[in-house]
Structure 1
Amino acid sequence: MLALLGDRAKFTEAVTWLGKNLHFNRNKTVSVFETTIRVLGGLLSGHLLASDESTGMKVDGYQNELLKLAEALGRRLLPAFDTPTGIPYGSVNLLHGVSEDESQVTSTAGGGTLTLEFGLLSRLTGDPIFETVAKNAVRGLWAQRSQLGLVGAHINVFTGEWTHKDAGIGTSIDSFYEYLLKAYLLFGDDEYLYMFKEAYKSVMTYLYTDPWYWEVNMNSAVVVWPLFNSLQAFWPGLQVLAGDVDPAMRTHKAFFAVWKKYGFTPEGFNLATQGVQPGQRSYPLRPELIESTYMLYKATADPHYLEVGRDITASIQVYARCPCGYCHIGDVETRVQEDHMESFFLAETVKYLWLLFDLAAGGDNLVETGPHLYIFSTEGHLFPMTPEIALRSDYKLVPTFLHENVPDAGQLGDEDKGTTFAEPHIPRLFNSLISRVNKSGFGLDMDCTDESDLAYRPLEGICQKLSMWRKLAAFYLAGLPRMEEKQATEGEPTDFKEINANSVKSSRETKFIRDLLVSIVHVREEPQVVSQEAEDTLPLDKAEGIRVNLITELTPEYEAVEVVQTFQKATESSVDSGLNLEDEDAEGVQPFQKATESSGDSEVNLEDEDAEGVQPFQKATEVSVVVVEDIVENQDVDGVQRFSSVELSTRIQ
């Protein structure tokens, strides 16, 4: 935070003090998850800032003290990974390793939210052991996903059996999804992107009931918990990072409606009773909703999100301020204070509020105008996206403008590389992005800029060697009407039941053209070769599902391209573009019905390690940037890719 504020003197003082006084030779048992995202992540981020002269924060006389501390800490955490599944124990003693009576059960977030910090430690020290164990932990969790592609909340690290089979995007799971995408963005590892796309598709198919997300049984998709918990509020920010802005806006609107009702978001809000969930009445100064607000403002420049930030700031200042800082709110209805303030309040809550308003005032800070593009860790630490950290030199970054006008398809002419278009209006906050990408060492080559004009209206998920047909498809999709235009005249909902999906549907003809064009955009002329490594790490049935050119397979009849979701009853007449219309789950159970196939305790345990105070993924990197690779997306069982970044960013309901 000191570096973001530009306070070089205090930043230097803090780095110097840590280098002289911090050590880990202590007989102390710590959470692997919490220690990694808070301490290890903070040391690595501090080192990268203190050692980089281009950031303006370089510390004179700095001799990599923070990196040495990070490596020492990382090695003390390594014994936790000595399990049959590769998924680490939840806790480890810094002096003696794993205790004999240590629990064999850990949370999905606890085992799957280590990749950024451990991967970065390997890149900076040259020792691959840290990245290897963290990636194996993710593979261990991924291997135990259900046939629906869902993961549970808690797992036995020895047997690989799920001890808590409720799937969701909140408590105990949240940052697992966050780090799948961010590990790809930071390192360029295709395996993480593959897992994120598959996981995201399953979440949007089985958990999403626009605009809310249920907790369901991971094997049957039976709804077990109609609950909004505060950790879910990170999700819209992650969707922005993935290019899926429309549903992010609707979900954020619903989540903020809960905030407005109480002045805070309680740990649990029951969607069936539309009231605070008993036992989950507190607000421990969490940052998730604020982070998503910041991300949405970066993506849209909509002043509405500044008003949201103003309301959140007012609530915290009026009701949480106490003599020595800011206190937890013990009950969002009585607003009684508790004498406690988590470290994430300063690391994330205050940071994202400051970034939001500073961006509106011109964005003169390290994140917006600095020499690098940054990924925010789940604890809000800054990790720069540089070629030294990425896996390979051909790693591509393409800026993303989601609301701009684009040239009409008729302007495209032939595939002459000399073709240029008039620059459309670009929001102020993106003006310096192109030059910053080029300065970062990645560059926007001819495949990503001149040939397809992506410098002015890039499309998420595609970049290299766009054919003329794909360009036509891209610009057609970009010109389709947006959901927000349909909702522009709608007022604020008066009841939570009114916050639901937009009912506007496209015509059969438009939908056919749209699906056809999406298939064009996401097709290569030549098949992608799956590496031996990929075959060894990915399920064979999915590794073989390489997308082929659907153009030659589609018939003139729209019925030939019917979209049917896995395990979901759907007919051509009832399928709504991009919207999960499941009125019933896979077992025929209504969404608000408690599951009969619960794994046991359906209560959300808010005392587990990631609920205890660590933010499910602080989701943020340059939202205006999408890392793009020449990757062919795998088909789902019906040959239609549900997760399509282009489709998502231009979704028609």
Structure 2
Amino acid sequence: MLAALGLAGGLSLTGGPGGILRATAATRADVAGSMPSASAAAEEIKTEFLHAWNGYKQFAWGHDEVHPLSGTYSEFFVPGQPIGLSIIEALDTLYVMELDQELAAGVQWIEGNLSFDIDGDFHVFEAIIRVVGGLLAGYLATGSHSLLALTVDITDRLMPAFAKSPTGMPYQYVNLRTGEVSGNTPPLAEIGTNILEFGLLSRLTGDRKYYDAAKTAYRAAIAKRSSINLMATSLNVETGQWADTTDQAPNPPSDSFYEYLWGGWALLGDRQCRDWFVMLNDALTTYASETYDGNVWYKQVDFQTGALVGRNQSELASFYAEVLGHAGDLPLGAAYYRSWTAVLDKFPVLPEEIDYTTITATSKGNQFRPEYANASFDLYFQTMDPYYASTAYQYFQGMKANARTANGYTVLDDVTTTPMQQGDLFPAYGFAENFKYLYLIFGGSPRFNSKNFYLSTEGKILRGLLPAR
């Protein structure tokens, strides 16, 4: 029988396991003053996850994504071809939250209904991080060999995107039935965000072809860096030529290209990935990072000269704070996280994009984004500083107050209005990421090893799941 992990790694408490979280001096007093006990916060987060999950079950079971306001659903990859994407995304979240009946129902649906013999184009990047990663994490959680078999099936169907490319960098789309490929100019994130899922699958199957394909793609892209080790944004996979000249990192659509370089080392022990990350990140620190009005940001620069191009920032880049911490530059990572917390103090739900010179929203919606919570989660476990728990709870309260609906949660069309304007979609990744990061900070799940874990860019627990007791 596994002992419970208590309070997810040791938040500073008063009064033992049921005590009140006490903030360090770094924690904002107004947040700390309203913090519940860790166990109460975990139950609140779990309750809200179930609120979203029950809305999906009511209106969209077996379909990819739910529209909670209209009580309808949609498919993510191919119209009219559901693959139960929300179920796949939720598997390891259900496991660590000990929602075993829900998990069993999800696995039963997958085993009885899921087929990838689909005559339609799947977005390779999304299929890898969502479907391959989700099924892998589900297999690690349950030991279901049918989930592993399905992982192999869809990955093999995606492989023509790599194998048919003259450079080895993947095409953007592949028809799962015919293997026909299309989309010859992907951004960096779509080229490099595969080594974690492919590397782990190679380990589990003993077949190196997946890992080798990921390394080949990385090698081809990194060979195109400039003399100052910066990368532009999109590459033609047939000619190997850049389609632009701007280094956007760590903003999308470059973001997870860098994240997975570090992950290739952290999860798979690939020293070349580590060295590539250090080389490229050093260049970003030199040419792109800056302190503006007391906050640390990443400007957009010309990849050949380092000259300024722009000063916009995407919420999707906020995850990079935790990557910096993992990679040994915790002061820079912590400073970047504080910059985003300053935005959270102004907008209770983070806007999609900001002009960081004025902290104004340039894209006013929020697609139920998890990246800030991702950074909170990782930085908390790196440091055990309650500041990251308290700011994560602040993020959670903002989402709960504004994105909650009668039948679940939804995206927001405008976070600058009062009340905020709600959309009508709950992205499947919400079941994989936001609630999981938050719950694990506070929940002390006996099924999660908070001392030795690694999660994918889509929040899939690829290392760190513990057996159910």
TM category (shorter chain) comes to 0.7 to 0.9
Q: Which residue of 1 aligns with 2:267?
A: 186
Task: From the superposition, tell whether residues 196 and 312 of structure 1 become closer, same or farther in structure 2 (CA, over 3 Å).
Answer: same
1:18 equivalent in alignment to 2:110: yes
Structure 1 position 119, deviation (Å): 1.4
1:260 maps to which of 311, 333, 345? 345
Question: What are the equivalent positions in structure 2 for 1:320-335 lying under 5 Å apart?
Answer: 320-334=403-417, 335=420
2:279 alignment counterpart:
198
Deviation of 1:230 after TM superposition, in Å, equals: 0.7
- Find the counterpart in structure 2 of residue 233 from structure 1: 318
Residue 377 of structure 1, aligned match among 453, 456, 467: 456
Q: Give the whole-Å Cα distance in 1 for the aligned partners of 2:380 and 2:199.
A: 30
Q: Partners in 2 of 1:156 and 1:364 — Cα distance?
A: 44
What percentage of residue pairs aligned between the two structures are identical? 33
Using the TM superposition, give the Cα deviation of residue 160 of structure 1 relative to its aligned residue in structure 2, in angstroms.
1.1
**Amino acid across the alignment from 1:282:** G
Match of 2:211 among 131, 145, 169: 131
Q: Is the 8 A contact 1:166 1:218 kept in 2?
A: yes
Q: In structure 2, what residue type is equivalent to 1:223? A: L
How many Å separate the matches in 1 of 2:356 and 2:401? 27
Distance 2:310 2:146 in 1: 47
Shift of 1:65: 0.5
Residue 2 of structure 1, aligned match among 85, 94, 99:
94
Q: In structure 1, which of residues 20, 29, 33 is the aligned counterpart of residue 125 of structure 2? A: 33
- State the 1:385 CA deviation: 6.8
Give the match for residue 398 of structure 2.
Answer: 315
Q: Which of 326, 343, 348 is residue 433 of structure 2 equivalent to?
A: 348
Structure 1 residue ranges without an equivalent (≥5): 52-61, 387-435, 437-653
Equivalent positions of 1:420-569 (< 5 A) are none
- Determine if contact 2:128/2:194 at 8 Å carries over to the other structure: yes
SS in 2 for 1:154: coil
1:106 corresponds to which residue?
186
Aligned residue number for residue 476 of structure 1: none
**TM-score of the pair, normalised by structure 2:** 0.75
* Matching residue within 240, 252, 264 for 1:160: 240
1:90 is the counterpart of 2:172: yes
For residue 215 of structure 1, what is the aligned residue in structure 2? 300
Q: What is the CA deviation profile of residues 183-221 of structure 1, one whole-angstrom value per residue up to 9, with x for unaligned ones?
A: 111111211111111111111111111311111111111
Paired residue secondary structure (2:375): helix
- Number of the residue aligned with 2:147: 66
AA in 2 matched with 1:22: L
Q: Does 1:76 align with 2:168?
A: no
Q: Which residue of 2 aligns with 1:121?
A: 201
For 2:335, the equivalent position in structure 1 comes to 250
Aligned-partner SS, 1:121: helix
Letter in 2 for 1:15: V
Q: Report the AA paired with residue 384 of structure 2.
A: A
- Residue of 185, 210, 220 corresponding to 1:140: 220
The answer to whether the 8 Å contact 1:5/1:365 transfers is no
- Superposed displacement of residue 164, structure 1: 2.4
SS at the partner of 1:224? strand
Q: Structure 1 residue 50: deviation in Å?
A: 1.5
Amino acid aligned to 1:87: M
Select the structure of larger CA radius of gyration.
1
- Is 1:281 the counterpart of 2:364? The answer is yes
Kindly report which structure 2 residues correspond to 1:390-405, keeping only aligned pairs within 5 A, or say none: none
Which of 132, 139, 143 is the matching residue for 1:47? 139
The CA distance in 1 between the partners of 2:395 and 2:404, in whole Å, is 13
In 1: Cα distance, 2:423 partner to 2:214 partner: 36
Measured after TM superposition, the shift of residue 122 of structure 1 is 1.5
Match of 1:305 among 388, 412, 417: 388
| Alpha-carbon distance, 1:165 to partner | 2.1
Q: Pick which of 108-117 and 42-51 moved more.
A: 42-51
Q: Shift of the alpha carbon at 1:126?
A: 1.7
Match of residue 76 from structure 2: none
Alignment partners' CA distance in 2, 1:131 and 1:162: 25
**Aligned equivalents of 1:324, 1:91: Cα separation in 2:** 33
Number of matched pairs:
366
What amino acid is the match of 1:49? A
Aligned-residue CA RMSD (Å): 1.7
**Judging changes above 3 Å, is the alpha-carbon distance between structure 1 residues 6 and 247 closer, same or farther for their aligned structure 2 residues?**
same
Normalised by the length of structure 1, the TM-score is 0.54
1:272 is paired with a residue whose SS is coil
Task: Indicate the SS of the match to 2:463.
Answer: strand
Q: Which residue identity does 1:339 align to in structure 2? A: D
- CA shift digits 1:137-162 (9 cap, x unpaired): 11111111111111121111111111
In structure 2, C-alpha distance between the alignment counterparts of 1:28 and 1:177, rounded to whole Å = 30
After superposition, the Cα gap between the structure-2 partners of 1:150 and 1:23, relative to the gap in structure 1 and judged at 3 Å, is same
**Structure 1 residue ranges (4+ consecutive) displaced by more than 6 angstroms after TM superposition:** none
Displacement of 1:6:
1.9
Task: Give distance in 1, aligned partners of 2:464 and 2:344.
Answer: 34
How far has the Cα of 1:266 moved from its partner?
A: 1.2
SS at match of 1:155: coil
Q: Which amino acid aligns with 1:236?
A: A
Partner of 1:576: none
Spell out, residue by residue over 1:14-60, the C-alpha distance to the aligned partner (whole angstroms, 9 max, x if none): 22331222110011211100000000111111112212xxxxxxxxx
Structure number with the bigger relative contact order (C-alpha 8 A, sep ≥ 6) is 2
Whole-Å separation in 1 of the counterparts to 2:359 and 2:393 = 25
Q: Deviations over 1:423-449 (max 9, x none)?
A: xxxxxxxxxxxxx9xxxxxxxxxxxxx
**Cα separation, 2, equivalents of 1:174 and 1:328:** 21
**What one-letter code is carried by the residue in structure 1 that aligns with 2:395?**
I
- Which secondary structure state, in structure 1, belongs to the residue aligned with residue 449 of structure 2? helix
Please state how far the C-alpha of 1:300 moved relative to its aligned partner: 2.4
SS of the aligned residue for 1:33 comes to: helix
2:191 partner amino acid: G
1:129 partner amino acid: K
Letter of the structure 1 residue corresponding to residue 250 of structure 2: I
**Contact 2:449–2:464 at 8 Å: present in 1 too?**
no
Give the deviation of 1:271 after TM superposition.
2.1
Q: For residue 226 of structure 2, what is the amino acid of its counterpart?
A: S
CA displacement at 1:353 relative to structure 2: 1.2
Contact kept, 8 Å, 2:448 with 2:464, in 1: the verdict is no
